[in-house]
Amino acid sequence: MIISSSARFLLVTHLHSSSLQPTAHLRERLNSILDQELNATCQLLFCNAEQTELGWLIQSSQPYRELDATLSQLALPDSLALRATGASLERFELFEQYEKPKLGAAWQGCRNLVEKIFLRLLARV
Domain assignments of the chain as residue spans, ordered by start: 8-99
Is residue 121 over pLDDT 80? no
For residues 13 and 82, is the Cβ–Cβ distance under 8 A? Answer: no
Share of the chain above pLDDT 90, in %: 18
**Candidates 3.30.67.10, 2.60.40.10, 3.30.70.1110, 3.20.20.20; correct CATH number of 8-99?**
3.30.70.1110
Does 5 or 83 have the greater pLDDT score? Answer: 83
CA–CA separation, 66 and 88 (whole Å): 20
Does 44 or 106 have the greater pLDDT score? Answer: 44
Is residue 60 over pLDDT 80? yes
The residue-averaged pLDDT of 52-80 equals: 89
Q: What is the pTM of this model?
A: 0.68
Model confidence at 1, pLDDT cuts 50, 70, 90, reads very low
Report the Cα 1 to chain-centroid distance in Å: 13
Give Cβ neighbours of residue 51 (< 8 Å, ≥ 6 apart). Answer: 15, 17, 23, 26, 27
Least confident window among 3-17, 26-40, 65-79, 96-110: 96-110
Give 5-37 pLDDT, tens digit per residue.
446 888 888 888 765 555 778 888 889 999 999
The residue-averaged pLDDT of 80-108 equals: 76
Is residue 72 over pLDDT 90? yes
